[in-house]
Amino acid sequence: MSIHEIIKQLSEDIEIECYYIKRPADNKNCIVYTYTEVPNLIGDMKELRTKYIVLLNVYCESNIEKTNKLVKESLQDHGFKKKIIPGTVLEANNIYNTAMQYTISLKN
């Protein structure tokens, strides 16, 4: 299963749209993600596992703590490990933005 497939499944489970890199301007309740790939296990000159460092931005207009809790629980249920959540900020357009960094290692 690819990183995009896992995040798509997570999106369906929590019923919040997820977008890669950029969100539509009219969507105020969603998750935007990007990631970095790092080789995690190499054997016989082949990459057997890949570690993904995933940065998610959770956008919402209300119910910030409830939304963040739902996202964190779902990420954990899908095998992600939390690295850091610096805090929530209120953006100029009155949308709350919580940045989250998680990692996951997937078999290739």
Q: How confident is the model at residue 2 (pLDDT cuts 50, 70, 90)?
A: very high
Note the pTM of the prediction, 2 decimals.
Answer: 0.91
Give the H/E segment covering residue 58.
strand 46-60
pLDDT in tens, 28-38: 999 999 999 99
**Residue 35: its pLDDT value, please?**
98
pLDDT in tens, 20-30: 999 998 899 99
Question: Which residue type is seen at 21?
Answer: I
Q: Where are the alpha helices (DSSP H) in 1-108?
A: 3-14, 64-77
- Gap between the Cα atoms of 108 and 89, Å rounded: 36
**Residue 92: its pLDDT value, please?**
86
Is the confidence at residue 15, as pLDDT, over 90? yes
Q: Which CATH architecture has domain 3-107?
A: 2-Layer Sandwich (3.30)
Domain boundaries in the chain? 3-107
Q: How big is the chain, counted in residues? A: 108
